[in-house]
Amino acid sequence: MLIKRITVGEIKVPLKVPFKTAVRSVAEVHDLVLMIETDGGLIGYGEAPATAVITGDLLGSMRAALDLIAPRLLGKKMLDFNALLRTVHQSAIHHSSLKAALEIALYDLRAQRMGVPLYQLLGGGDPQLKTDVTISVNDVDVMVSHALRAVADGFDCLKIKVGGHTWQDDVDSVLAIEHAVGAHVALRLDANQGWTPKQAVVVIQAIEKAGVALEFVEQPVKADDVAGLKFVTDHTLTPILADEAVFSARQALHILSSGSADVINIKLMKTAGISQAIELASLARLHHRTCLMGCMLESAISVTAAAHFAVAFEDVVSYIDLDGPQLCAANPVQGGMQMDGPWIHLPDAPGLGITAVHGLTNVKVFDV
């Protein structure tokens, strides 16, 4: 079975409400979509968002890197799977999101070829997950109303974005949301690098003293400030999670072995795909730590892949934050993950289980 054709296009999906964090505000998902086709007629799907402020990836830079990598994959055997992955990763450094899209499509094909869902190829598990949903940074009353709407929609776990205004506003918004939704709704915070280490300790301790038990606080400080991350971890009781600080297994090893964070956020767009995500999960297991499975602003192609991964590594992936498709006002994907409030159900179909993606624009085809 040979790789015969690679097609790239773009999808645009408006969000239900603008997505606002400490580092950006976005109104739509505008992602790259890949289809890798074999001479046997199988199609593997992949997707990559242009999250410039986190991964550095832009639609144009991903397309330029694909111009380099795609011709090197054409005509190659699917059976030489590791050689295909090496071609993806060794053709250029960086470009983690594009590489993730390529890996996702290749893993999709590999599982389809074996006739099993991707989660079974990766080790099996129960193909349903429950995700949190994101509450963007806004004025306190807006955040409370968004939180109440999410709970009315069936969500019992909220990820509150903080770090976008003053630290006192952050404390006020968290306490106001907890008061409004009640203690039975789990709360997690994501500061997206928005605090200094000392500010983070002040905010988290204030919330702890108010009697609100947070599941964790994500990326309180700048991505490259591992010492600051450790300072926060050492001076708070709440579990601290490393997101933007961890792309590679090497970074994860450093953060885990130094005790700089309690939880690692695995996103396929940071790990450049599934193969390094497996390494991160293994490292967390080795250090008796757990992981969160997360996503960027992605539609249901790459989030389906992340859900398959989370199912297969459920022993170490303790937290699910795969709300990308939930934030979208429409679903351009046929097949793949099915959403029912906070629940994600994966199909029994081989691979990702995706059969079509609608509304592709700016299509380019690489042929043998």
Q: Which residues are catalytic?
A: 161, 267
Q: Rule CB under 5 A: say whether 323 interacts with Mg ion.
A: no
Number of residues counted as binding Mg ion (CB under 5 A): 3
Residues 22 to 61: which contact Mg ion by CB under 5 A?
none
CB of 100 to Mg ion, least distance (A): 16
State the minimum distance, in angstroms, from the CB of residue 218 to Mg ion.
5
**Residue 321 touching Mg ion (CB under 5 A):** no
* Residue nearest to Mg ion according to CB distances in the complex: 243
Give the nearest distance from C-beta 184 to Mg ion in angstroms: 24
In the bound state with Mg ion, the residue whose beta carbon lies nearer, of 80 and 224, is 224
Residue 298 within binding range of Mg ion, rule CB under 5 A: no
Nearest to 223 by CA among 246, 255, 203: 246
Residues numbered 218 to 237 that lie near Mg ion (CB under 5 A) are 218
243 part of the interface to Mg ion, by CB under 5 A:
yes
State the minimum distance, in angstroms, from the CB of residue 42 to Mg ion: 34
Nearest approach, Cβ of residue 159 and Mg ion (Å): 8
Site for Mg ion in 171-200 (CB under 5 A): 190
Rule CB under 5 A: is residue 215 a binding residue for Mg ion?
Answer: no
Mask for 246-275, x = binds Mg ion (CB under 5 A): ------------------------------
| Pick 108 or 190: Cβ nearer Mg ion | 190
- The residue ranges that bind Mg ion (CB under 5 A) are 190, 218, 243
